[in-house]
Amino acid sequence: MAGKIDEQLFSARGHALEQHCSQCGAELVMRNSKRGPFLGCAAYPACDFIKPLHHNDGHVVKYLGKACPDCGEELLLRQGRYGMFIGCSGYPACHHIESPERKAEDTQLTCPECGQGHLLERKSRYGKTFYACDQYPGCRFAVNAKPVAGHCQQCGFGLLIEKKLAGGSKLQCADRKCHAYQDV
């Protein structure tokens, strides 16, 4: 026997979602944003309470067999919104989080901006390689191409980058104001 589907279940004001705001007591309604649907207070903008529809704490990739230094529960390797991370299995009671061990490769080149640090090979959360000063956050110098020792022939800046072009590789000034190609 086929039953009729209650259309109110699919509407923003449907009874299946009937919940109330913990700040003002008004009804929570379905809203949409670029990150997906969520529940928001019907009294918005007077009340800005929001509640996520799902909790994204990262799905488990691997059990590590090590104890959490904070609470003693087992540590897990998880895939989250911003990439891989190590988190406690006792979450949400324990909020211990670590970065996976990733050895940064030292280029042995001195940072041309601060003169104290060295440039290290790093990976962005999207997996793209870039080179940044190891004195971060004190020095925010970074380049997206492989750095090469040398001085710019035009402005004298103390670092060059290797630029890969259709006609082969060329050296370019790493200074954002110059970017002059170098004669080899």
As given in the structure block, the two tokens for residue 154 are 């035009």
What is the rounded distance in angstroms from the CA atom of residue 140 to the CA atom of residue 135?
8
> Model confidence over 90-118: pLDDT tens digits?
888 888 888 766 566 677 888 988 888 88
Does residue 110 sit in the same domain as residue 168? yes
* Residue 106: φ, ψ to 5°: -85, 130
12 pLDDT more than 70: no
Report the C-alpha gap between 25 and 50 in whole angstroms. 13
CATH of residue 31's domain is: 2.20.70
Task: Work out the pLDDT band at 43, boundaries 50, 70, 90.
Answer: very high
Taking the C-alpha atoms of residue 74 and residue 89, their distance in angstroms, rounded to an integer, is 6
* Run of H or E residues at 9: none
Give the total number of structural domains in the chain: 3
The answer to whether 76 and 62 have CB atoms below 8 angstroms apart is yes
The answer to whether residues 46 and 63 belong to one domain is no
Q: Which two tokens stand for residue 64?
A: 């590590």
Q: What is the pLDDT of residue 147?
A: 92
In this predicted structure, the answer to whether residue 17 has a pLDDT above a threshold of 60 is no
What pLDDT digit, counting tens, does each position of 113-172 carry?
A: 888 888 988 888 777 889 998 888 889 999 999 999 999 898 888 899 998 888 888 999
Q: Which two tokens stand for residue 25?
A: 């007591």
Does residue 9 have a pLDDT over 80? no
Q: What is the pLDDT of residue 14?
A: 42
Per-residue confidence (pLDDT) for residue 13, from 0 to 100:
46
Most distant CA pair in the chain, distance: 83
Pair (46, 72) in one structural domain: no
pLDDT at residue 15 tops 50: no
Q: Which of 102, 109, 104, 101 is nearest to 122 (CA)?
A: 104
For the chain, give the mean pLDDT.
80
40 with 69, same domain: the answer is no
Q: Who has greater pLDDT, 31 or 42?
A: 42
Q: What pTM was computed for the model?
A: 0.47
**Can you give the residue range of the structural domain that contains 157?**
105-173
* Residue 96: strand, helix, or coil: coil
Confirm if 32 and 39 have CB atoms less than 8 A apart.
no
Instruction: Please check whether residues 88 and 147 belong to one and the same domain.
Output: no
Residue 20 per-residue DSSP state:
B
